[in-house]
């Protein structure tokens, strides 16, 4: 972690208000998975092309999430089966600022991710009446049928390009927890590049290609449950799960 923090020291800094220029709640995204040992070299290459979010001198922040699904796991199975026009519903806590949100992510059949969220007071898993209305309005589900399935937590820093057209999130030490088990992937780094439209390949994507790091679909909700649960359907995640166990988990 110290080496990563030292690398971030050499990037220009942006504030939360700066980041408002590139919220990208409706976006195209690409993800890459790599070993944390490769991250400092990537940051060295991109340091003159991206700035990093800083709040009160800090650049790496803790996130905590609770994901919800139906009793028969409709949202998980829709993703596992490759169905588009699918939803993810979660609570998110920004640990340092103690901000909380109920968030809905929708992946449409054009490959775009659309996120809607409302602020809430705490991280309690019970939905208020307003939140139940939000869920029923924005999704095909009733909040009354949903139940918490998994906790997901990680450290994150956020990069933005000089033109404020790309937002890059870099997640470290992703962990997953249910009532029975917990697993932390200490060596895994998840990089997600978000753009409003794919006008040109982001510079960091070119760096990934040159480093022979391939684009990789990765749902924290689905992969977390697949790692923790033996009896859940996960055929389409098999190759990624094998790679995770071999390269990123120690």
Domains of the chain and CATH, by start: 2-248 (2.40.320.10)
Instruction: Split the chain (250 residues) into runs of 10 and give each run's mean pLDDT.
Output: 83 89 81 94 92 93 98 96 94 94 94 93 95 97 97 97 91 96 96 82 89 91 96 93 86
Burial class from Cβ neighbours inside 10 Å (0-12, 13-18, 19+) for residue 11 reads buried
**pLDDT computed for residue 6 by the predictor:** 82
| Angle CA 17–19–21, to nearest 5 | 90
Q: Please state, in angstroms and as integers, the Cα–Cα distance from residue 145 to each residue in 68, 71, 128, 132, 246, following that order.
A: 10, 7, 14, 10, 37
**pLDDT computed for residue 111 by the predictor:** 84
**pLDDT computed for residue 198 by the predictor:** 66
**pLDDT computed for residue 196 by the predictor:** 81
By the 8 A CB rule, do 46 and 159 touch? yes
What 74-83 contacts at long range (C-beta under 8 Å, 24+ apart), as own/partner pairs, is 74/141, 75/141, 75/221, 76/149, 76/221, 76/222, 76/225, 76/232, 77/233, 79/219, 79/221, 79/222, 80/222, 80/233, 80/234, 80/235, 80/236, 80/237, 81/236, 82/236
For residue 117, count other CB atoms closer than 10 A to its CB: 16
């Amino acid at each position: 972690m110290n080496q990563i923090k030292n690398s971030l020291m050499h990037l220009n800094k942006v504030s939360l208000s700066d980041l408002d220029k590139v919220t990208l709640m409706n976006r195209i995204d690409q993800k890459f998975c790599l070993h944390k040992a490769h991250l400092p070299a990537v940051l060295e290459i991109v340091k003159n092309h991206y700035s990093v979010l800083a709040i009160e001198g800090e650049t790496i922040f803790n996130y905590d999430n609770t994901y919800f699904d139906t009793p028969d796991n409709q949202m998980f199975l829709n993703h596992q089966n490759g169905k588009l026009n699918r939803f993810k519903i979660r609570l998110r806590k920004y640990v340092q600022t103690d901000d909380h949100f109920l968030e809905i992510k929708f992946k449409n059949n054009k490959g775009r991710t659309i996120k809607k969220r409302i602020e809430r007071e705490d991280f309690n898993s019970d939905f208020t009446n307003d939140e139940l209305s939000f869920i029923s309005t924005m999704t095909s589900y009733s909040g009354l049928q949903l139940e918490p399935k998994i906790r997901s937590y990680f450290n994150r820093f956020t990069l933005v390009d000089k033109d404020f057209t790309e937002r890059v999130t870099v997640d470290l030490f992703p962990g997953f927890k249910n009532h029975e088990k917990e697993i932390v992937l200490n060596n895994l780094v998840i990089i997600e590049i978000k753009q409003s439209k794919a006008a040109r390949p982001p510079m960091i994507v070119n760096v990934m290609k040159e480093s022979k790091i391939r684009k990789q679909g990765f749902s924290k909700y689905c992969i977390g449950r697949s790692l923790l649960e033996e009896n859940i359907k996960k055929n389409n995640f098999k190759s990624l799960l094998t790679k995770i166990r071999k390269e990123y988990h120690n």
